[in-house]
Amino acid sequence: MVKIAVFASGSGSNFQSIMDSDIDATVELLVCDKPGAYVEKRAEKHRVDVFSFTAKDYSSKALFEQEILKELQRRDIELLVLAGYMRLVGPTLLREFQGRIINIHPSLLPAFPGLDAIGQAFEANVKVSGVTIHFVDDGMDTGPIIAQEPVRIEETDTKEDVQRKIQAVEHILYPKTIQNVISQWQRSVN
């Protein structure tokens, strides 16, 4: 079984979908940059260790990423899964986990990168948005795309409707894509 760490900042609905799935991995650690976020309660319920931190408590990104790296190494983590983690991953983690960090984003990248992608799509009045899963590089939502699925936006949809539609797709596509990444990785190692 591949050991993964999930990084999240909010409610953790994608964390929950990963925990509820049948992937060939064990979630060994939740990394959360918002102490008290609901995702921590989800992790506790599933008996997953939590490393929670406040970025402002560190003088640099490198320092808090070094602390995260120690936690990851202590548990022999092999794959990082970003699930609503609202920070750019810095060089400390990128170097150590190059090609082994994946992220989910609520748009069809390269359209609407960054914060509030659903709001950006809604304001742009597009007819189709969607979900992208990609490898993480040093840019904002610029890494190689692994999987995408479109989501149709109807004229009568509210922003909340679009968010619900996108999350429904995320909760199916993310675990499936994580499993595909793990399977490809295991085939390449053997």
Residues tagged active-site: 105
Contacts of 72 (CB under 8 A, 6+ apart): 5, 29, 80, 96, 97
Element (H, E) at 31: strand 25-32
The whole-angstrom separation of Cα 161 and Cα 156 is 9
Q: Two tokens at 103?
A: 């992220």
- Distance from the Cα of residue 189 to its chain's centroid: 24
Is residue 141 within 8 A of residue 113, CB to CB? The reply is yes
